[in-house]
Homo-oligomer: A and B are copies of this chain.
Amino acid sequence: MGDVYVVLLEPKISGNIGAVARSMANFGFSNLVLVTPKCDVDDEARNRAKHAQKILNKAKIFKSADKIFSKFDTIIGTTGITGTDFNLIRSPLLMGDVAFKILSAKGSVALLFGPEDTGLSNEQLKNCDFVLSIPTHKDYPVMNLSHAVTVLLYELFRHESAQILRDKHKQSAPREKEVLFGVVDDLINQTNFKTEDERTTQKLIWKRFVGKAMLTRRETFGLIGFLKKLVKK
């Protein structure tokens, strides 16, 4: 992934800046840029940022909006107001479609968010490499600024790092499941089923039960221990 920048154009509500910083820390991003902000990074921003003060401390402030479109290798505009497919400016890509595109970009990638009340203008969107939108309900499509940032960073993070959490909660290995199914078989064979068919059905039920539950090692070991006790009885 290139260097991702969260770029807020003329933010007006300092609490949003803090909330954005917190969300960035939650998903491992650190480059925040404020372009001609209409509010200060005040106590409210500090309070909402919680443990992400560092991101506020090193936030860059651009005093002019003139050069933002030439500062980054790729600049991605965001909008909650999409047009139809005959509107060239507001024909967005959807976040789910585009996460891998962003993750595979080189150089600097700016995610550009407009002011809370108006969003990015057509003129600003035109200058972006492409436009991105989060699918929302037609009755109220416009999201809170920090909520929109959160969803976008979540999408980028989860594609990269869902693996981290998966590594932490290891699924049971095939060998471990084999042991479990062995004990289940013993138990089924000891049980008073009338036909081989009934036993086969039971085995399939357990196969699916274990398979769909996607047990962790801990859960598998626990189950094996329990079923072994039943077999002994």
| A positions within 8 Å CB-CB of B | 19, 22-23, 25-28, 48, 50-52, 82, 84-88, 91-97, 133-144, 146-147, 150-151, 154, 157-158, 161-162, 164-166, 168-170, 214, 216-219, 222
Contact = CB atoms under 8 A, between A and B. Distances in A.
B27 A136 contact: yes
Contacts of A50: 144
Given A26-B137, A91-B216, A82 B144 contact: no
Contact of A218 (B25, B88, B222): B88
9 contacts: A22-B140, A23-B144, A26-B137, A26-B140, A28-B139, A48-B144, A92-B165, A97-B214, A136-B157
Contact of A86 (B26, B92, B135, B218): B218
A54 to B, nearest CB: 10
A28 B168 contact: no
Contacts of A25: 137, 139-140
A86 B215 CA distance: 11
B162 A135 contact: yes
Nearest to A25: B140
Contact of A168 (B85, B134, B150): B85
A202 B48 CA distance: 53
A168 B137 CA distance: 13
